[in-house]
Amino acid sequence: MGAPKQRWTSEEEAALKAGVAKHGPGKWRTILRDTDFSAVLRLRSNVDLKDKWRNLSVTAGGYGSREKARMALKQGKRVPKVNTEPMDVDADNLDNVHDTVIDAKPLAVVVEPSQRECSSEKSVARLDDLILEAIKKLKESSGSNKTAIASYIEEQYWPPADFQRLLSTKLKALVATGKLMKSNQKYRIAPSSVSLGGRSTKVHSTEDGKQNICIRQLTRPQVDAELDMMTHMNKEEAAAFAAKAVAEAEVANAEAEEAARAAEAAEAEAEAAKAFLDAVMLTVQNKNAASAILRAC
């Protein structure tokens, strides 16, 4: 880990800006591994680089890179790199690189009011996609743990401040709904299940797997008729009838448990959606308050 409370030196700032110019914003670990900058930035972590770059972008252009990245994320796009071609950096000319990067114009992103109103709903659904994308891209045979998933999303996108709490809630919801499988604190994408109209279809069968069982809703006269029929059964018929009744009871119990799990999953989804929406709304309110203060000055 780095030393977040230590003041940044001019050499570290210059190395950070040169690294962004070479690899693009968001590639913090790549910059730290680059031999051109690793010596200067040895006391810094990828989180330190991300926070410092956000502050530098606000100072340079008056429009934070976090907000630009968040709006680009809502539109389903990634933040473009400043320069797609590698750039040779001379350690003796880092001051010139500092001047070059600081004068770069910020990316202009225009968000209409109507887009801003619906963006929070898109972000809630988007978090599911980001988690699944992270697991697919990491390609770990035994599954990816929460830390690896969070690191991938933080490197590629700009999540909200309480992202870790939202991620935990969303992972539990995805496991409860059957989209993810959890084993030894690692998550894997569950095999595709047969679905119809957005709901998974369940086929209930007896233990031998050959006979489907349908639960019957009996009226009082039907119950009386079956009880009367049971009094005239021999031992074999009574045993078969009892086995069928037990199987129907087991199916009913399984369906009740499935309904309870679905209700818990829906509740978890709702909590995650509300928490993410609250985070988005708080970010928008803070941005509006900051803009009002700047206009007042």
- Report pLDDT digits (tens) over 173-199: 888 888 888 888 899 898 864 343 444
Per-residue pLDDT of 266-283, as tens digits, reads: 777 777 778 888 888 888
Confidence of residue 81 (pLDDT cuts 50, 70, 90): very low
Give yes or no for a contact between 176 and 261, defined as CB atoms under 8 angstroms apart. Answer: yes
- Give phi and psi for 189, each to the nearest 5: -75, 130
Distance (Å, rounded) from C-alpha 154 to C-alpha 271? 22
Map out the domains of the chain as residue ranges: 1-110
CA distance 235 to 288: 79
Most confident of 51-65, 71-85, 231-245: 231-245
Q: Which of 92-96, 164-168, 259-263 has the lowest mean pLDDT?
A: 92-96
Q: Which of 68, 39, 52, 60 is nearest to 4 (CA)?
A: 52
Let me know if 20 is exposed, middle or buried by CB neighbors in 10 A (0-12, 13-18, 19+). buried
Rounded Cα–Cα distance for residues 240 and 248 (Å) = 12
